[in-house]
Structure 1
Amino acid sequence: MRTCRRALTVLALTLPLAAMGAVPVVDDNSGSAGSSYPPSGYGTAGAYAGGGATAQPSAQGQLFMQLQQMQDEISRLRGIVEVQQNDIQQMKQEALDRYKDLDSRIGAGGAPAAPAANNSASDGGVNTGGAPASGAAAAQSPQTSTEPGDPAKEKLYYDAAFDLIKAKDFDKASQAFSAFLRKYPNSQYAGNAQYWLGEVNLAKGDLQGAGQAFAKVSQLYPKHAKVPDSLYKLADVERRLGHTDKVKGILQQVVAQYPGTSAAQLAQRDLQRL
């Protein structure tokens, strides 16, 4: 009996020790893949610095790069749009200024500024259309009208053409002034009609037609009061056409030959800006 009790006591003491010996011991320094530390993926930056295999950028990194590229492209497109908007605004402002200028001239220029000068007279140096100002008076003179002069009838015809300008019907106004000049080239209204033909063509955007009409004022009516204005407007047309080499010469001519006029003052201002 005592022998059995002693055997049971020894067994009870040895069982815990056996259980403890059955627990596996993990070696932290082993290279086992299942218990590696630090976790996989840690220290990627160190791989870059150490010259190891290059890691591919993460999805978040790729998304950030794409977003940055899109922002750069948007900034570039915004710059282009701003430039275009400025160009459009400048064109609108020039058109508005042109119409305002036309309106102001309409309000002050309905009647002829002065009777047309003797057609054979020379201006002694005004030369804007290429033909000499002296020694070619016959080539510059208006054609002789086939219809007898009738001041009252001429005025009705001229006023009708001018009313078309007031109505902003520039196409018909251009046709009306051209017809007037063909029918009454020696009329006292002819110089004004020639000038307004230039203004109408300019309002239409016909720069070539406007330049030709303005040039003919000084060529055909060299003593007319509209000559300084027509030369100044001719310089503006040449500027719009890109003929900058002609602009300075015409402006200098206005300043030198027509001092004291509003056209000369404007020409002097433009010369200072060149």
Structure 2
Amino acid sequence: MRKQLMAAVIFPLALGQAGMTLAQSSTSAFQSNASEAQRKANSSQATSELFYMIQQLQSEVRRLQGETEEQRHLIKRLQDQGRDRYIDLDQRILDLSEKVLAQPKAAEAAGGGAEAAPEKMREYRQPGAEERKAYQAIQDLIHDQKKYDEAISGLYEFIDKYPEGDLTVNAYYWLGEVYLVKPQLEQARQAFSIVATRYADHRKAPDAVYKLGVTLDQLDKKADARRQMEQVINDYPKTEAAKLARKFLDSGQG
């Protein structure tokens, strides 16, 4: 009887403990499944966000590539326009140089002998503030930065924008100087010839005649070089260019 009583007490207790163990096991399994589901949900959300960010970046890259391509086409178009303008101005200077070089020959053929000095000093258009600033910027390219190609382009643009002014003659002269440095001797000869012949009464004329002689000497046109040096001495005897011309002749050059 006592054994039956003990069994009756122990059995429910065992069932209770088993139930509690089973409940705890079920709770742990449920919590584990919930955590795994949450982890997967978080992972899926992170993947979605990453995919969205990648799409956004790809879209931004495509936009930037499009802008870069547009800028590249714009730069090429501007370069082509600048080159065409450069070639046009270069041809105009060549034509002008040929005309002014032909003038002394025409005068000599007509019995006029050597070219006479201008009877009247012309009045050159004086530059405004903007023109002076543009000219100074070119001088900076030449003397300080030594960017001769940019200076040449700048001089052509300056001559085209500000024709027949006092600084325009300077621009022709410095065009010759830069071409002489490069050296592009034929272009230098053309530029110096324009100043020496067309603007013979300008303050840069003595220097231009002298540098024309130097250029001709480098072109191995010795007799023509000597004639230019003699012209400097005869037409502009009190100038620094005349002193340089005398040194050139005394040294036996040409």
| TM-score of the superposed pair, with normalisation by structure 1 | 0.46
| TM-score of the superposed pair, with normalisation by structure 2 | 0.50
Larger radius of gyration: 1
- Structure showing the higher helix proportion among its residues: 2
Which structure carries more relative contact order (alpha carbon 8 Å, separation 6+)? Answer: 1
